[in-house]
Amino acid sequence: MKKYLFPLAIAACLALFNTSCSSSDPVPPAEQEYNGEFIKPDYAEQAAAFVLPIDEVKDQNGKDAYLNGINITESGKAIFEVKTQDGKTKFATYNAVIEGNTYYIVDDAGNPVGTVVKASTKATQNVTIKILIVIYVDGELYTFEVTVTVPMLVPDPNEASRQTNNLCRTWEVAQMNIVLEGDVNVSKIVADGNMEEFLNAALDAGAKLTDSEKDALRKHITSMTFDKNGLFSIEYSDGPSDGCSWEWTDKDKQEFIHLKHRNGAEFGNKFLSNESDIRVDFTPTSVALTLETEIKGNQNYKATLTMVLK
């Protein structure tokens, strides 16, 4: 893929980050300084992350694959970090139903996938957890069964700001917008998470894309999740999730988030910068994420990407 492609940059952040932009600001200016607080997600008090010993929790079917982390998020998503048999770090997203010390993991159809049972609720010490999970990652079936003592990371509610509380949940894509200015000119609004519409608009505008670049844009984002333990993930209608780490660039202002690759995971595609900064604007019912970047290559242009999440 070549950087002159709007898609990759978009897909990079979008495909990676489903973001988009448009000549008309999708966020009404009167609402951009929203200072209220959203209703807490269902599992805001039960969210936790478990950091497993690197390359120790191995697939029970004999594959050279390892479970390296589990994030149970504020909105009840269970995100598994897996080092697959090809040596790459990938993410699989399921749903979690929390009852006491047990996380019941189910797929979108409600079918059971497994359980994670913790022996303690204390966040200040290691906890023993019993894992029995059968999950698909990028089309491959993996089974992990182990009892292990690991750190349980639970966010301190006294440290979470209003902005963090508002951001950390699972969002659906309400609108994506993109504006390209330069050798390639495109202005496109999409009413959901279908990035292929950006691909078609770029091709119509004369962008020269390789087959792999086209494939990177043939994705449909279903949801995006931020959690207070620093994980950001994108879920697609098919294929594995994307995942990376996030943090505020300025803990006082909290206007931009910074994305950083996580444990060697390939977030979206190689054209997403490992040090991307994304602007965050809240309205009473949504959040808008905006990325601006310059693409230089055989074709040069400025890309502005905005995604509205609800």
What is the tens place of the pLDDT at every residue in 258-293? 988 887 666 654 344 567 889 999 999 999 999 887
Confidence of residue 105 (pLDDT cuts 50, 70, 90): very high
Q: Tokens standing for 73?
A: 């998020």
Q: Which is more confidently placed, 253 or 16?
A: 253
Quick check: 95 pLDDT over 90? yes
Confidence of residue 190 (pLDDT cuts 50, 70, 90): very high
pTM for this predicted structure: 0.84
Q: Which is more confidently placed, 202 or 16?
A: 202
Residue 68 contacts residue 263 (beta carbons within 8 Å): yes
Q: Which is more confidently placed, 176 or 121?
A: 176
Compute the distance between CA of residue 162 and CA of residue 281 in angstroms, rounded to an integer: 13
Averaged pLDDT for residues 187-207: 89
Averaged pLDDT for residues 83-90: 89
Residue 304 region, left (φ>0) first, then alpha (ψ -120 to 50), else beta?
Answer: beta
Lowest mean pLDDT among 3-7, 81-85, 297-301: 3-7
The predicted pLDDT at position 22 comes to: 38
Q: What percent of the chain has pLDDT over 90?
A: 51
Lowest mean pLDDT among 6-15, 39-48, 80-89, 261-270: 6-15
Confidence of residue 165 (pLDDT cuts 50, 70, 90): very high
Quick check: 222 pLDDT over 80? yes
Task: Give the domain ranges of the chain.
Answer: 6-38+161-309, 48-153
The CATH code of the domain at 48-153 is: 2.40.128
Q: What is the mean pLDDT of the chain?
A: 83
Q: What percent of the chain has pLDDT over 70?
A: 82
Residue 150 contacts residue 51 (beta carbons within 8 Å): yes
What is the tens place of the pLDDT at every residue in 145-161? 999 999 899 888 778 89
Confidence of residue 192 (pLDDT cuts 50, 70, 90): very high
Quick check: 26 pLDDT over 50? no
What is the tens place of the pLDDT at every residue in 36-61? 889 999 999 889 999 999 899 999 99
Quick check: 3 pLDDT over 60? no
Residue 153 CA, distance from chain mean position:
19
What is the tens place of the pLDDT at every residue in 292-302? 877 676 777 78
Averaged pLDDT for residues 224-244: 90
Quick check: 67 pLDDT over 80? yes
The predicted pLDDT at position 7 comes to: 35
